[in-house]
Structure 1
Amino acid sequence: MNAEFPDKTESPGGSASESSSGGSASAATPGMVYLVGAGPGDPGLITVKGLSCVRRADVVVADFLADDRLVAEAPGHAERIRVPWRPGRQAEINDLLVRHSRAGKTVVRLKGGDPFVFGRGGEEGLHLQRSGIPFEVVPGITAAVAVPAYAGIPVTHREITSSMTVVTGHVSQDRDRTDLDWEALAKRIGTLIFYMGARNLPFIAERLIEHGRPKDTPVALIQWGTTAEQRTLVGTLDDIVSRARSASFTPPVLIVVGEVVALRPQLDWFESKPLFGVRVLVTRARDQAGELSEALVRHGAEPVEAPLIRIEAPDDWRAVDAALADLSGFDHVVFTSRNAVEAFFSRLNHKGLDARSLGGVRVAAVGRATAGALRSRGIEADDQPEVFRAEKLVEALAGDRDLHDARILFPAADIAGPAVEEGLAAAGAYVTRVTVYRTVLEEGLPDDIASMLEDGKIHLAVFASSSTVSAFAKAAGPDGPQRWTRGVRIACIGPSTAETAAEAGLSVDVVPVQATVPALVDAIVRDRLAAGERLE
Structure 2
Amino acid sequence: MALRVVLTRASADNERLADLLRLEGVEVVDYPCIGVSLISAAPVSDPVDAVAFTSRNAVRGFFFNRLHEGLSPRIVAAVGESTSRELQESGWRATHLPADPTAESLGMLLRRDMRRGEILLWPRGNLSTGDLEEILMGAGIVVVSRVVYDNTEPTLVLLEGECTAVVVASPSAVDRFLKTNPERTGALFVAIGPKTAHAARDAGCARVIESPRPTPEDVCRTVLSAVQ
Fold shared per TM-score above 0.5: yes
1:367 deviates by 2.1
Matches of 2:120 and 2:20, distance apart in 1: 36
1:363 deviates by 1.0
Amino acid of the structure 2 residue aligned with 1:398: R
Counterpart position of 2:21 = 296
Q: 1:311 to 1:383 in 2, by over 3 A?
A: same
Q: 1:508 to 1:409 in 2, by over 3 A?
A: farther
Unaligned runs of 5+ in 2: none
Counterpart position of 2:97 = 384
Indicate conservation of the 8 Å contact 2:5/2:27, yes or no.
Answer: yes
Q: Secondary structure at the match of 1:439?
A: strand
Amino acid of the structure 1 residue aligned with 2:166: A
1:358 deviates by 4.5
Deviations 1:204-238 (A, max 9, x none): xxxxxxxxxxxxxxxxxxxxxxxxx6xxxxxxxxx
Amino acid of the structure 1 residue aligned with 2:56: R
Counterpart position of 1:367 = 80
Amino acid of the structure 2 residue aligned with 1:510: I
Amino acid of the structure 2 residue aligned with 1:345: F
Counterpart position of 2:124 = 412
Higher relative contact order (CA 8 A, sep 6+): 2
Counterpart position of 2:227 = 528
Deviations 1:184-214 (A, max 9, x none): xxxxxxxxxxxxxxxxxxxxxxxxxxxxxxx
Q: 1:511 to 1:369 in 2, by over 3 A?
A: farther
1:259-408 to structure 2, matched below 5 A, reads 277-314=2-39, 317-319=40-42, 322-323=43-44, 326=46, 329-348=47-66, 357-385=70-98, 386-390=100-104, 392-399=105-112, 401-408=113-120
Matches of 2:120 and 2:97, distance apart in 1: 15
1:502-517 to structure 2, matched below 5 A, reads 502-507=201-206, 509-517=208-216
1:419 deviates by 2.1
1:430 deviates by 1.2
Matches of 2:110 and 2:154, distance apart in 1: 35
If each structure's strand is expressed as a fraction of its own residues, which one has the higher value?
A: 2
Indicate conservation of the 8 Å contact 1:492/1:508, yes or no.
Answer: no
Indicate conservation of the 8 Å contact 1:367/1:514, yes or no.
Answer: no
Deviations 1:440-486 (A, max 9, x none): 11233x23x2x42xxxx11110113333123223334xxx2xx3132
Matches of 1:311 and 1:508, distance apart in 2: 28
Indicate conservation of the 8 Å contact 2:121/2:145, yes or no.
Answer: yes
Matched-pair identity in %? 29
Provide TM-score, normalisation by structure 1.
Answer: 0.40
Indicate conservation of the 8 Å contact 1:312/1:439, yes or no.
Answer: yes
Deviations 1:66-97 (A, max 9, x none): xxxxxxxxxxxxxxxxxxxxxxxxxxxxxxxx
Matches of 1:280 and 1:302, distance apart in 2: 6
Q: Secondary structure at the match of 2:210?
A: coil
1:507 deviates by 4.0
Q: Secondary structure at the match of 1:292?
A: helix
Counterpart position of 2:185 = 485
1:508 deviates by 5.1
Q: 1:334 to 1:425 in 2, by over 3 A?
A: same
| Count of aligned residue pairs for this structure pair | 227
Matches of 1:428 and 1:521, distance apart in 2: 39
1:497 deviates by 2.3
Q: Secondary structure at the match of 1:415?
A: coil
1:318 deviates by 4.2
CA RMSD of aligned residues (A): 2.3
Structure possessing the higher radius of gyration over alpha carbons: 1
Q: Secondary structure at the match of 1:499?
A: helix
1:347 deviates by 2.5
Amino acid of the structure 1 residue aligned with 2:65: R
Counterpart position of 1:474 = 179
Matches of 1:462 and 1:289, distance apart in 2: 10
Amino acid of the structure 1 residue aligned with 2:210: V
Indicate conservation of the 8 Å contact 2:54/2:103, yes or no.
Answer: no
Counterpart position of 1:495 = 194
Matches of 2:14 and 2:95, distance apart in 1: 29
1:113-128 to structure 2, matched below 5 A, reads none
Q: Secondary structure at the match of 1:431?
A: strand
Matches of 1:334 and 1:470, distance apart in 2: 27
1:39-50 to structure 2, matched below 5 A, reads none
Q: Secondary structure at the match of 1:510?
A: strand
1:3-22 to structure 2, matched below 5 A, reads none
Q: 1:375 to 1:498 in 2, by over 3 A?
A: farther
1:395 deviates by 2.0
